[in-house]
Amino acid sequence: PKHIAYADREGIFMELRLSQLMEYLSQEDEKVRDQYASESKNEVGAHVKTTPSLPETIEESIDHRMETLTMEAHRHSTSSNRQSTVKAPRLSTKQYATLQEVTKSAFRKLCGEITIIHTIERERIPPWSVTGFYPVGLDLGLIKE
């Protein structure tokens, strides 16, 4: 995302990149895979991962939500002659939603707990906004309600 150049850094003592958080989640995910032996052997005896990594799962869930929202926006616009208030998400929404969900998940793993506070009632959060992607983390069990 492009907002990094404009981010307020006053009082910041540490900054982490999305790639660093994704790597951390992947490493933590590997530990769980090794512990519970969620690997299988191929024909030559090499280990092959049977499930996507946690960052991949987050991205897949965001993609699925974006597809659902896009279909809903299309369905709403074709079933109505007036201008639709239902919007399809943009590509930048995916980038920011990924940043949001990976950050929340990584810091929950790092800290043990995390408190997320939305400044708007849940029912009023536009589903196509970045905040509207909060159910991804809930559905995957990465954060608690």
CA-based torsion, 115, 120, 121, 125: positive or negative: negative
Amino acid letter, 80: S
Counting other chains too, the contacts that 111-114 makes at CB distance below 8 Å and 24 or more residues apart are 114/143
pLDDT-flagged residues of the chain (< 50): 38-39
Q: What is the pLDDT of residues 13-39, one digit of tens each?
A: 888 899 999 999 999 887 776 655 544
Residue where the block lists tokens 């024909």: 43
Closest Cα partner for 62 from 141, 132, 144? 132
